[in-house]
Amino acid sequence: MKIVLLLLLTLNLIAVDEYSFRVGYGKASKSLLTEIISGNSYDNNHNKDLSVLSFNGGYLLKESLFDWPIDIYVKGGLSYFDEAGTRSNLYEVVLYIKAYYNLDFRDNRIRFGIGEGGSYTSDILFFEDEEAFVKNANTAHYLNYIDMSVDFDLGRLVGHKEMNNTYIGWALKHRSGIFGLINGVKDGGSNYNTVYLEKNF
């Protein structure tokens, strides 16, 4: 954790706000995507301790799209999945486009983000394999990827200008076959609820 904080402080010294770096940690959820979005998932973690540690980097493609408070990034990331002894741990590579809607009020900022792209895992996630087995469905290394998030500017919140553009928030990592459109995967996707720190620099 000290290394992450040191990295975030170092990024403050080269502030051009065209790049972003995010580190997140989370757990697998048994809830459906629609349940998580609607807030009906509650404490619905998988009974095994399935977790993910993720690192994402991004580049700002367009700021204030159409003069709206919307920023567009291209992002890529690497994630490490701890499969809680069910099998060997595995890795994921993601590439996606993400839009942020910026809501500014009283010198604070909240961002709502939605990203769309692709995800490739080095093996099939235990959670995805388990669900596919129950539903007699396919699995795949490559699936559609959705990244949804909400965060707030930590520097603005605490009134410490040197920490501006350092965000703390929640993100959902979602993999699915889009009802069979990708690799014939109709069921067997996964959702991971994560908390993260992100720095624009």
The CATH number covering residue 186 comes to: 2.40.160.20
Instruction: Give dist(CA 174, CA 191) in Å, integer.
Output: 5
CA atoms of 166 and 63, how far apart (whole Å): 17
Q: How many domains does the chain have?
A: 1
User: What was the pLDDT predicted at 14?
Assistant: 47
Closest CA to 167 of 93, 90, 109, 118: 109
In tens, the pLDDT along 133-188 reads 877 778 999 999 999 999 999 999 888 888 999 999 999 999 999 888 898 888 77
Question: How much is the average pLDDT of 106-133?
Answer: 93
Report the predicted TM-score, pTM, of the whole model to 2 decimal places: 0.86
Q: Which residues, listed in sequence order, are joined to residue 172 by a DSSP beta bridge?
A: 148, 193
Range of the domain at 21: 2-200
**Confidence at residue 88, expressed as pLDDT on a 0 to 100 scale:** 85
Whether the per-residue pLDDT at 2 is higher than 70: the answer is: no
Give SS3 for 140.
coil
- pLDDT tens, position by position, 40-73: 666 677 778 899 999 999 999 999 999 999 999 9
> What is the amino acid identity at position 7?
L
Mean pLDDT, the chain, as a whole number? 88
